[in-house]
Structure 1
Amino acid sequence: MTKAPPRLDPADRRILAALERDARLSFADLGEAAGLSKTPSWKRVQAMEKAGVITGYRAMIDPAAIGLGTSAFVHVSIAFDRHEDFEGAVRDEAAILACHAVVGDFDYLLQVMTGGVPELDDFLRNRLRRLPGVRHFNTTLAMRDVKPRACLTEAVR
Structure 2
Amino acid sequence: MRLNDLDERIVHALAEDARRSYADIGAQVGLSAPAVKRRVDRLRESGAITGFTVRVDPGALGWQTEGYIELYCRSNTSPEAIERGLEHYPEIVSASTVTGEADAIVQVFASDMRHFERVLERIAGEPFVERTKSVLVLSPLLRRYSAGPSA
Tell me whether the two structures share a fold, i.e. TM-score over 0.5: yes
Q: What 5-or-longer segments of structure 1 have no aligned partner?
A: none
Structure 2 partner of 1:35: 30
Structure 1 partner of 2:108: 112
The Cα shift of 1:80 comes to 1.1
Greater relative contact order (Cα < 8 A, sep 6+)? 2
Structure 1 partner of 2:48: 53
Which structure dedicates a bigger proportion of its chain to helix?
1
The Cα shift of 1:13 comes to 1.5
Runs of 4+ in 1 over 4 A off after TM superposition: none
Selected match of 2:127 from 126, 132, 147: 132
Selected match of 2:71 from 68, 72, 76: 76
Residue 82 of structure 1: SS of its match in structure 2? coil
Normalised to the residue count of structure 2, the TM-score between the two structures is: 0.93
* Per-residue deviation, residues 114-141 of structure 1 (Å, max 9, x unmatched): 011110011112x111223110000010
Distance 1:40 1:103 in 2: 42
The Cα shift of 1:29 comes to 1.1
Alignment partner of 1:44 is 2:39: yes
Normalised to the residue count of structure 1, the TM-score between the two structures is: 0.89
Distance 1:115 1:108 in 2: 23
Distance 2:119 2:125 in 1: 10
Structure 2 partner of 1:152: 147
Contact 1:86–1:132 (8 Å) recurs in 2: no
CA RMSD of aligned residues (A): 1.4
* Per-residue deviation, residues 62-117 of structure 1 (Å, max 9, x unmatched): 01111011110111100013334332111221111111111211100111110111
Contact 2:16–2:145 (8 Å) recurs in 1: no
Distance 1:90 1:45 in 2: 33
Distance 1:87 1:60 in 2: 23
Structure 1 partner of 2:81: 85
Report the number of matched residues.
Answer: 150
